[in-house]
Structure 1
Amino acid sequence: MSRDRVVTLLAMLGLVVTTACSAPEQPSEETPAQSITVVDDAGRTVEFDGPIESAVVANRYNSELIRAMGDIDKVIAVDANTAQDRVYWGQFDPDNVIGKGQSELNVEKIIELDPEVLILPRNGKVDEYAAALEPVGIKVLTVTGWDNGDFASQLEILGSAFDNEAGAEKVTEFFESTKVDIADRVGGVEPKKTVYWEYGDPYTTAIPETSNDGWHQMIVAAGGVNMFGDPTLEGDTVDPEQILATAPDLILKTTSGGALKNTGVYTPPADGEFASIGQEMIARPGWPELTAVQEGNVHMITGFAGGGLGKIVGAAYLAKWLYPEQMAGFDPDDVFSRWLELQGMELPEGHVYTVPATR
């Protein structure tokens, strides 16, 4: 090859290299977030542009599930029933809440906070809030954290919406394994023991398919029979005479302690409060003759403890009281403690109490 041809080829090669090196960089394309579609607990289809990054939440049970999953940092405000607990929910300002509870929310405040989504249970005013918020771009997602009859579904909704299926499955497994452990121990006991459960005001009880259905499911999970387990019953209170006629094996009172009515807080009731409520109960007409009263089978638990982990914490204590022989070696305090660990809290004393036997 001639010297001139070699020079020409080298020059051409240099031009190619220079051109390749100086070619403009192509802009990188970021993968857009995948949209997420969920069917919520009210049967509504809700679509998100991506995982939830900003939420306001009504109902303590929902907030607890979100925190146990590891996504509480995505919640910017809660309701007053939740924020009242300054020890348990110190990150939320009680002067910057979204309303009292799921049925008394402040739509204007929610719009001001401008979250991606409002999360509330199905016994809230779902359709009303959706009609007010969705036109301004705020989604409404129904999750019923107190529904222990369909607990796994509530976690599945949250896991999908926050794109945290692993966190949701961790909480579900804790619930299900505890429930199965209790059932394995007491499921075969016959006859099953009867329970009268009372919440708040005297003679207010757990009737299935009402807002207190979760407490009915707690009794069932503990292997008990709810003496007012007929879903056709009507009214806010029950007939005191029926309690005397049925003579339940065990009586359980759930109290709010120092919390707002029918809610719960981490701090246990003041010294003597359980005892005072218990003495009022066992002094009711006809109650001194009840075997449960005489034998020390009247128990008390706070709504905070009893409602923990879809009320499976309450079921653990109730099963231990109902069937001490079958539940030997099972420690309800351990269930309560593990649940509180998921909330970043330690186990406090004073959330359960047994009224002394009268004979």
Structure 2
Amino acid sequence: MNRKIVGAMLAFMIVCTMLLVPQADAQKTVTITDSLGREVEIPYPVERVVNMNTFANEAIAALGGEDKVVGVDLSIKFFPEFYPTLRDKPVVGFHHFPSYEKIIEVDPDVVIYSSELMWSPGFEEIMEKAGIKPVCTSFWDPETYDRDVRNLGIILGKEKRAEEYLDFAHSYINMVEERVKDIPPDERVKVYWEVMFTDMTMGKPSPLNSLIEMAGGRNIFSETGGASFAMPTGAEFGTTASGGFGGEKAKGAISAMSIRMVSSEEIIERNPEVIIGQSMSMKSMMKSFSWMMKKPGMMRKILNGELSEEEVKEMLKETEMRFAADIGALRDMREGIMNRSEIKATDAGINGRVYVFPVSMHLFFSPSWPMGLCYLAKALYPDRFEDFDLEDLHAEWLKKQDVLEGYKGTWVYPQEIKEK
């Protein structure tokens, strides 16, 4: 037989044999589309994960994927009642400014982060160079919620659990949307949602605007009004970051969330029928920063995620930054809003339709927003949702998510809307 033919046949047989033998070095991968719309190729299965998105902690616990988490951000320490299966994980920085060294040291395959919270320039590039795949998630935005949960299911190897989670969440969403879908646009309740600070709100597009619309309301600042929120200068925070506290990346994140500062005159003119408060008084904020400035190196420790358990407890006590559901904090917050002259001039203020929620991430700024949607809907339309027992619905939600050691705390004030 021709030597060339024999050689060709031999080569063909060798190739076929190689294809039949499992390749130990071959790494399976899967491509997912993250919340920024980027296609990210990640190893599959993922073995080690760092979570720098504080909004994602709840979903990780709900899917039962804590065993793969090898690092978390500092903010998990601010909520001692929550995430018992995650809170003892190594801290690798603060969600705004992670410690690259600590992340690389714990050697994850994937790092989960949030575009709204991650303010460190070049974060994605640095992670990629270290061989770590950065995956952007939101978890509080209804527009990307399903995608975020499914991506997390893939990362944690909990795809079936992720689908069950979404089915449960959508049962809450559907209960609300079915009851408000027939309300004509001009009859929908006008809402002003004050978030984080006095006179701060969110327009369109933003997750909070979406929630108002899903609950059957109209955001009075959805399209126009107010001015874009300006990040404080680096000098005001004692940093050298260009463009403010978190530099240009922070400015971009703030802009993407459509955060606005509005005036008292605009609030009076647009006359909201319901006001939702999730704001912290400027007095509390100034007290917080005053305390931090008195502690040498405290700001650096916070930004680098280096606070000890005792320092976290001291900060929460001394600064009045009460993140957990605290009835005293909620009562103070509502009284502060109700006593403002511009609020007294609105229908919401006159009729006492001012509802406040914790300045935290466990109802609206989290995967729990479907539960928050139920609270919001009942605040807007108490008659349509008269049979909603928010206490029972919330207890069922928390039990399903497995994130809280016992159902406790205050989630809304006044509390009357929780009852049937």
Give TM-score scaled by structure 2 length: 0.69
Q: Give yes or no for contact 1:305–1:336 (8 Å, CA) kept in 2.
A: no
Tell me the distance in 2 between the aligned counterparts of 1:232 and 1:203.
12
The answer as to 2:132 corresponding to 1:138 is yes
Q: 1:335 to 1:60 in 2, by over 3 A?
A: farther
Q: Give yes or no for contact 2:53–2:137 (8 Å, CA) kept in 1.
A: no
* Number of residue pairs matched by the alignment: 322
Task: Output aligned runs, 1:272-351, within 5 Å.
Answer: 272-302=328-358, 303=360, 304-341=362-399, 342-345=401-404, 346-351=406-411
Q: 1:126 to 1:173 in 2, by over 3 A?
A: farther
Cα deviation for residue 223 of structure 1 reads 1.0
Q: Larger Cα Rg: Structure 1 or Structure 2?
A: 1
Identify which of 277, 280, 284 aligns with 1:253: 277
Percent same amino acid at aligned positions? 25
1:327 is paired with a residue whose SS is: coil
Give TM-score scaled by structure 1 length: 0.80
Tell me the distance in 2 between the aligned counterparts of 1:251 and 1:51.
46
Q: Which amino acid aligns with 2:168?
A: F
Q: Give yes or no for contact 2:66–2:85 (8 Å, CA) kept in 1.
A: no
RMSD: 2.9
Deviation above 6 Å: which 4+ runs of structure 1? Answer: 28-33
Q: Give yes or no for contact 1:195–1:250 (8 Å, CA) kept in 2.
A: yes
Q: Give yes or no for contact 2:70–2:89 (8 Å, CA) kept in 1.
A: no
Listed one character per residue, the Cα deviations across residues 292-320 of structure 1 (whole Å, up to 9, x for unaligned) are: 22222011111323335352222111111
Q: Give yes or no for contact 2:172–2:370 (8 Å, CA) kept in 1.
A: yes
Q: Quote the residue 2:217 is aligned against.
A: 224
Unaligned segments of structure 2, at least 5 residues = 1-20, 230-260, 285-315
Tell me the distance in 1 between the aligned counterparts of 2:123 and 2:105.
15
Q: Give yes or no for contact 2:60–2:152 (8 Å, CA) kept in 1.
A: yes
2:355 is paired with a residue whose SS is: strand
Task: Output aligned runs, 1:4-153, within 5 Å.
Answer: 34-92=28-86, 96-101=90-95, 103-123=96-116, 124-125=118-119, 128-153=122-147
Listed one character per residue, the Cα deviations across residues 28-59 of structure 1 (whole Å, up to 9, x for unaligned) are: 97997743222222233322332222111112
Q: Give yes or no for contact 1:126–1:142 (8 Å, CA) kept in 2.
A: no
Q: Which amino acid aligns with 1:283?
A: N
Q: Give yes or no for contact 1:130–1:140 (8 Å, CA) kept in 2.
A: yes
Listed one character per residue, the Cα deviations across residues 287-344 of structure 1 (whole Å, up to 9, x for unaligned) are: 2232222222011111323335352222111111111111121223333223311124
Q: 1:82 to 1:344 in 2, by over 3 A?
A: closer
Cα deviation for residue 250 of structure 1 reads 0.3
Q: Which structure would you say has the larger RCO, counting Cα contacts within 8 Å and 6 or more residues apart?
A: 2
Q: Quote the residue 1:11 is aligned against.
A: none
Identify which of 318, 325, 343 aligns with 1:268: 325
Tell me the distance in 1 between the aligned counterparts of 2:75 and 2:168.
26
2:222 is paired with a residue whose SS is: coil
